Amino acid sequence: MSTYVYGIDFGTSNSSVTIWDVEQRALLRDPTIRDVESSFMYFPYTLSKDPPIIGDAAKLRYVQDEMLGRFFQAIKTILPNRTFEQTIVNNEVYMLEDLVAFFLRYLKAKADNVTRQDVKRVVMGRPAVFSSDAEEDQLAQDRLRRAAELAGFEEIHFQYEPIAAAFAYESRINQPERVLVGDLGGGTSDFTVVQLDPKRQGLTDRINDILATGGIPVAGNKYDSATMWHKLTPHFGRGATYESWGKNLEVPSTLYRQICQWDQIVFLRNAKSLDLIWRLARLSSDPAAFDRLEALVTKNQGFALFQVIEKAKIALTNKDLATIRFTHPDILIDELYNLGEFNTNTADLTAQIVSKLDSFMHDAKLDPAGIETVFLTGGTSMIRSLRHKFSQRFGADRIRDGGEFTSVGDGLALSAPLLFPELHG
């Protein structure tokens, strides 16, 4: 009987599991395992202790339930947060590790159904940098390890996600290449420079092939937040004024910073915040905007609105014009969004990522001229302004892509010989 190792890419936006067959020294493909699953989790309001709904099915059920239950997205970004330890759902207390374990258990079950084994070995992906704070970075990995244990794994190794992407790319080439991998996802933008050689694929000693790795916690989700801030917050009253003690004052921008992350909107659903919104609807220069803001908060429409924002971002990866159309009867929005606006609104984020890339190359004493190939993966890698910056630095002819949502998972499984050498003789 074959021995298997799973590679699990638990991503901010999307996740996947890939199977490594130790005996065949190859990836085991099966059509019953979807390439990518959205990193969503939904607890319907219930008195029972049923496990949450996972993945794309969670989104569908959440919408069907008119967004009344407890919905989680981008849990991965909370891992380094010391202040978040637990939450209460349906009168049950869940540690952060418990929430992540639900998702890992789901992915493990899908793969176990293919292998017909209770596989205990896993290569877990992690970003090059969970947090710039070393203690928070270690906390995130420790939490992810504990979640994997709760999900049923006993032998757990970690691999940097951009290194995994590099190994996936290595399976596509036929000659040695020095490669810069840019893994640009939903929560982090990670970089690795690695010397690849298809003849070395599957060897257990690759540490000297990894020349540098680094990253920054800025990626796709923040691009969505920037669109919300620049394009849509005026629909909810940003820039409006209100009268107070005979003076016209501008509504504080802090109110709008909070609605630029959909999962933070729920925290405005308290008496103090709702009273402020109610008063602004009656005292401000734009009462209708604050009616929309009240509906956004009280009718739990944040997730649905950010889905529309993300859809526009994706459209602008290959079109010059997108539509942001939201049809909730209390929040009607119909805006055209052109590529130039998007680039301007997100220019500071692109600059942060590129600045990190430049400092990463400088600190590693690597010359762009010495990079033979740039392999871009992850959904954010398709943003045109960001791709253009890579082309400027390395030349468009050196840019490669493909498998934007699956290369990390494949590469994690391909890392099994390196991280479990005892299985490979």
> For the chain, how are helix, strand and coil distributed in percent, rounded to 5?
45, 25, 30
* Nearest alpha-carbon partner for 22 in 209, 202, 206: 202
% of residues, the chain, pLDDT over 70 = 99
pLDDT per position as a tens digit, 208-227: 898 999 999 999 999 999 99
User: 159 pLDDT exceeds 90?
Assistant: yes
Side chain identity, residue 385: S
Give the whole-angstrom CA distance, residue 221 versus residue 310: 9
Contact 64, 71 (CB under 8 A): no
Note the pLDDT of residue 1: 52
Write the DSSP symbol of residue 76.
Answer: G
pLDDT per position as a tens digit, 168-213: 999 899 999 999 999 999 999 999 999 999 998 877 678 889 899 9
Side chain identity, residue 400: R
Provide the 3-class DSSP secondary structure of residue 337: strand
Q: Residue 420 phi/psi, 5° resolution?
A: -125, 60
**Tokens at 245, concatenated:** 């003690």
Q: Residue 345 phi/psi, 5° resolution?
A: -65, -25
Note the pLDDT of residue 425: 64
**Predicted structure pTM score:** 0.85
pLDDT per position as a tens digit, 299-334: 989 989 999 999 999 999 999 999 999 999 999 999
User: 243 pLDDT exceeds 70?
Assistant: yes
Orientation angle between helical segments 220-227 and 347-363, nearest 10 degrees? 150
* Nearest alpha-carbon partner for 172 in 395, 404, 400: 400
User: 17 pLDDT exceeds 60?
Assistant: yes
| First-to-last C-alpha distance (Å) of the chain | 16
Give the whole-angstrom CA distance, residue 190 versus residue 346: 18
∠ at Cα 50 (46, 54), nearest 5°?
105
- Domains of the chain plus CATH, in order, are 4-173+403-423 (3.30.420.40)
